[in-house]
Amino acid sequence: MMWNRYDNGSGMMDGWFLVIFIIIAIVVALIIALVIFTIIKLVKTNDKKNISNNNNALSILNERLAKGEINIEEYTKLKNTLIK
């Protein structure tokens, strides 16, 4: 007698195993994609903040030079420090 694994009830939940496996795989893939997207977003945001802070600091440095608070040597030294 030939047994059909879908008819006797012992065949991996009568075919539902594949459906459940695919759903779980999709959910895991979505979670991984969300984590990667979040990390990329955070890195780009931090880069923009650093660029903005450097530009702001350079503006302040330019103002201090224009007001005569610092001389050219100090300006050059501080500017090189900011650019690094």
What residue ranges do the domains of the chain occupy?
A: 17-83
Q: What is the gyration radius of the CA atoms in the chain, in angstroms?
A: 31
Q: Which helix (H) or strand (E) holds 65?
A: helix 16-67
- How far lies 44's CA from each of 49, 58, 80, in Å? 9, 21, 24
**pTM (2 d.p.):** 0.45
Give 26-78 pLDDT, tens digit per residue: 999 999 999 999 998 888 876 666 666 667 888 888 888 899 898 999 989 98
**Using the 8-state DSSP alphabet, how is residue 11 labeled?**
S
What sign has the CA pseudo-torsion 6, 12, 14, 18? negative
